[in-house]
Structure 1
Amino acid sequence: MSIWNRVEVTTRFSELPSAFYTLVQPQPLTTPHWVIWNEDLAAEFGLPPEPNQELLSTFSGQEVPDVCVPLAMKYAGHQFGMYNPDLGDGRGLLYGELRTLHGQYYDLHLKGAGLTPYSRMGDGRAVLRSSIREYLCSEAMAGLGIATTRALALVGSDTPVRRETMETGAMLARVAQTHIRFGHFEHFFYTNQMTELALLADTVIDWYYPQCRGAEAPYAQMFTHIVERTAHMIADWQAVGFAHGVMNTDNMSILGDTFDYGPFAFMEDYEPGFICNHSDYQGRYRFDQQPSIGLWNLTALARALSPLIEHSELERILSTYEKTMQRRYSVVMRSKLGLKHSHEQDSQLFDDLFQLMAANHTDYTRFLRQLSCIDIEGVQPILDLVIDREQAKNWVERYLVRCAQDDGGTTSDDELQRRCEFMRTKNPKYILRNYLAHIAIEKAEQGDYSDVETLAYLLAHPFEEHSGYEEYASLPPQWGKELEVSCSS
């Protein structure tokens, strides 16, 4: 009996009008083989813990299960601030939706499945290098508790694909609550397809925001939820030092999930103006611009929704974004520092910390993790991360005084231990540093996937110590800080 007859799959997107998509069959990879299978995620859908030949045939595009209807979605979007109408799934196909054992539905999407009508000048392929990066980072974000798409499986092959050099093709099986983007609404708005625009909004409400259906203004209520979820997502990015790299509106999920991993990076040395995308010549998507770009993208979505929602209401909803994001960011950052209550001087304490790290090129993740180990290792390892140790010592002393305020004036050893144990659940020891991904990719290109598997495990549990794997938490070598990542990544 086929595996696909034992799991529940729906294909409701294919039941929408043809203006929403084009039916496309995948172009199979040659000599496919497994790179990695996400056993834990597979179990959520009732899929087997060990992948087999039938699954390999499916996720390499060789055979399409009878229960699936592969299609390429049509959408548009603003790319680096410029509207582009000629977008859509250019190298990925939506197969349908998988039902979890708990009754939730997730899109099953095969990335790298070949040419579609929306491939433009591309070849419709994904290479092993970029597919490994997306697999690892989406699972890293899930491990950090940040809203994201997930990676179910990764298949490699002998299929030649030319990028800067000749590489090999791969297919990533991605699952997501939805693949509907801001750009879907923009497409119908800018092509004056108002019936389809309203249908899309109704569909999004029925499938993802059913609580809005009974509201006095359901479309406005839907937009309110999108604004809130986007604000929360970006606040979470800022708190962990994640830079997306390509925050185009076609890469923005209507559910506030981190979407389409390309030239991303986790910031290492704290640098507010950090640019992770070598192709971002103007720095539009640099780290400290992400909050404002989030609002810019929501404003673009608001324009696309203007036939359905009054202008004044759109403006009112957009005006909530900044406070919502700042509120979320403050809560998350206070938890990372183990602060129980909000005090008026907290903003200055945070500002001084950021200035300290920026001036001293201090590793953001390591500093916060080391701060959370002060009960075990003391102050000195924290000071050793900062060039100006006197300035660092002054900040740590102020921080400990601030903690004591939460503890009634004095912090006991037991209270310090409890605080640090909590902080270690908020400050990861392991993140996906670019040099770690680079090493894993180099090994994988030689047929050794051991580092991919090791990183996938550590990143899924980033707050744990994992004795024996400390090298994966090491600060990057100088060459690792100089790696360049572009949109082709």
Structure 2
Amino acid sequence: MTDLQTPAREAVTGPSLPGLVEGYATLPDRFHARALPEPVSAPMLIKLNEALAYELRLDLGGFATDDLAALFSGNAVSASSRPIAMAYAGHQFGNFVPQLGDGRAILLGEVTDIHGRRRDIQLKGSGQTAFSRGGDGRAAIGPVLREYIVSEAMAALGVPTTRSLATVATGDPVYREQRLPGAILTRVAASHVRIGTFQYFAARGDTDGVKILADHVIARLYPALAQGADRYAALFAAVVNAQADLIARWMHLGFIHGVMNTDNMAISGETIDYGPCAFMDAYDPATVFSSIDQYGRYAFANQPPIGQWNLARFAETLLPLFSENQDAAVERAQSILGEFKPRFEETFLKGMRAKLGLLTEREEDGALARGLFDTMAKGGADFTLTFRSLGDDVLALADGTANGKTRALFSDPAAFDAWAALWRDRLAQEPGDASARRAAMNAVNPKYIPRNHRVEAVIAAAVDQGDYQPFEELLAVVTKPFDEQPDMAAYAEPPQMHERVLQTFCGT
């Protein structure tokens, strides 16, 4: 990789991102390859996330639209930036690939936001790098819009996630199954370090590289651990907890990541790499959308055990840092990894209590939640509408005067009635006012999610007509997921049979 550190061309400097510094680029050369964005012919700014720009302390108000398009397409590079592609490896569908890396993403640098947190800024779809492996390094408009919409919806839902700062149409085609318009996404993350980043160095026997990376991550993401004698084990424990909490949040919302490879799991505990992701409509634990997940490895219900499997791979990279004694290191890793399942179950059940309107804890709550999921699966009930309707029906269900409207979502309403009777009995043991409970439930059970058929309609409008108004409208709706928004009520509805989207695609 050494001979790839210096690109053949020089960067075109232009308007600078305020406060941008090199960050990860200051690590040794073997951690990354120098990579300049490839120019595009006709950059056009589609969307700037002004609220996020403010959060990042990026004062862009005085920038001309053309300057913003040049900046977020990579046609111009901030003078303070040393653009790089990060090196990493990864298990892809269970198979280890020792060198992957940023094949179509370029890290511009980092800024410090209004909360004092350091945040990466990265271009995605900005051209070939040393890690492109024959790919074009570009992105089509569809995957870019999908990531923008879904990542911003996840942020509004309170899920740790990378964010979308801007998207630009390039004016150049990309070729996948067909000719498509190209685009570039500007992505923001607490860090782009992945489990696969650690695997890259471990696979090469580069223990010093693993240690440098671990120290970087601790300083960047978990500074409270820096002075501890057992800081590397503490780092592993922190990541185990972060991933357990993250995946529990996915499960609360019916979200399916789609490609939970180790190179797609961020050490920060953020959701990263929105490729064939989707929110399910009718609940089915075996739901898979990804066109490349032919055997359901990353199906909805498999996400927690896959998360733990990936963390085991992370532990393997850290063993030399845990102890010089191999047996002692393995024992330490296994002990920490064993906390994943109880942490996940604790976070999941806590969230389910909130979704069901339960403020107190009782032993039977887990069975009550599982009973609802079983009933939803058998009854083909819509995931999001079921929970939202429970909040709307809580007044009727709590006093037993009616069964409410939720039952109409089930193919066998009588089966729901049987579960609702148990729920009503459990609510009778709760303190508090039913109207306050309904408000609390509606604050955690979204009415609006980026449903697949809506996202695909946005993409079709952009590809076929160059029309971004549907994108703007859907984005506005899903970034206020808990609000009623009466004029946008149609966006809450599940797809009709002819509107269903059964497969999603990575876009590479």
- Picking from 299, 303, 319, the partner of 1:306 is 319
Q: Work out the CA distance in 2 between the residues paired with 1:449 and 1:181.
A: 33
- Picking from 249, 266, 269, the partner of 1:253 is 266
| Aligned residues of 1:114 and 1:123 also touching (Cα < 8 A) | yes
- Picking from 48, 56, 61, the partner of 2:60 is 48
Encode CA deviations 1:107-157: one digit per residue, 9 max, x unaligned.
000000100010012110011000000001100110110000000001012
Aligned to 1:74: 87
Encode CA deviations 1:6-34: one digit per residue, 9 max, x unaligned.
x2111121111100001111012221112
* Equivalent runs, 1:58-207 vs 2, <5 Å: 58-207=71-220
Identity %: 38
Aligned to 1:374: 393
Q: Secondary structure at the match of 1:373?
A: helix
Alignment-mate amino acid for residue 428 of structure 2: A
Aligned to 1:433: 451
Q: Work out the CA distance in 2 between the residues paired with 1:247 and 1:241.
A: 15
Q: Which moved more, 1:193-202 or 1:297-306?
A: 193-202
| Aligned residues of 1:36 and 1:154 also touching (Cα < 8 A) | yes
1:443 partnered with 2:461: yes
Q: Secondary structure at the match of 1:322?
A: helix
Encode CA deviations 1:158-214: one digit per residue, 9 max, x unaligned.
211000100011000000000000011101001111211111111111221111112
Deviation at 1:51, TM superposition (A): 6.5
- Picking from 474, 481, 489, the partner of 1:470 is 489
- Picking from 408, 420, 423, the partner of 1:396 is 420
| Aligned residues of 2:385 and 2:447 also touching (Cα < 8 A) | yes
- Picking from 268, 273, 276, the partner of 2:289 is 276
Q: Secondary structure at the match of 1:271?
A: coil
Q: Scaled by the length of structure 1, what TM-score is found?
A: 0.96
The runs of 4+ residues in structure 1 deviating greater than 4 Å are: 375-378
Encode CA deviations 1:325-378: one digit per residue, 9 max, x unaligned.
000000011001110111122122112211111011110100100111115786
Q: Secondary structure at the match of 1:110?
A: strand
| Aligned residues of 2:44 and 2:66 also touching (Cα < 8 A) | no
Q: Secondary structure at the match of 1:87?
A: coil
- Picking from 4, 8, 20, the partner of 2:16 is 4
| Aligned residues of 2:447 and 2:492 also touching (Cα < 8 A) | yes
Q: Secondary structure at the match of 1:285?
A: coil
Q: Work out the CA distance in 1 between the residues paired with 2:501 and 2:238.
A: 39
Aligned to 1:330: 349
Alignment-mate amino acid for residue 475 of structure 2: A
Q: Secondary structure at the match of 1:97?
A: strand
Alignment-mate amino acid for residue 4 of structure 1: S
- Picking from 18, 30, 33, the partner of 2:41 is 30
Q: Work out the CA distance in 1 between the residues paired with 2:403 and 2:188.
A: 43
Aligned to 2:309: 296
CA RMSD of aligned residues (A): 1.5
Q: Work out the CA distance in 1 between the residues paired with 2:372 and 2:223.
A: 42
Q: Work out the CA distance in 1 between the residues paired with 2:216 and 2:45.
A: 36
Deviation at 1:486, TM superposition (A): 2.6
1:349 partnered with 2:368: yes
Q: Work out the CA distance in 1 between the residues paired with 2:64 and 2:333.
A: 47
Q: Work out the CA distance in 2 between the residues paired with 1:393 and 1:367.
A: 13
Aligned to 1:458: 477
Alignment-mate amino acid for residue 424 of structure 1: N
Q: Secondary structure at the match of 1:330?
A: helix
Deviation at 1:106, TM superposition (A): 0.6
Q: Work out the CA distance in 2 between the residues paired with 1:219 and 1:51.
A: 46
Structure 1 unmatched runs, 5+? none
Deviation at 1:36, TM superposition (A): 1.4
Aligned to 2:11: none
- Picking from 428, 432, 441, the partner of 1:423 is 441
Q: Work out the CA distance in 2 between the residues paired with 1:448 and 1:290.
A: 35
Q: Which moved more, 1:118-127 or 1:99-108?
A: 99-108
Q: Which moved more, 1:81-90 or 1:479-488?
A: 479-488
Q: Work out the CA distance in 1 between the residues paired with 2:60 and 2:491.
A: 29
- Picking from 425, 430, 444, the partner of 1:406 is 430
Q: Which moved more, 1:123-132 or 1:21-30?
A: 21-30
Q: Secondary structure at the match of 2:106?
A: strand
Q: Work out the CA distance in 2 between the residues paired with 1:190 and 1:475.
A: 45
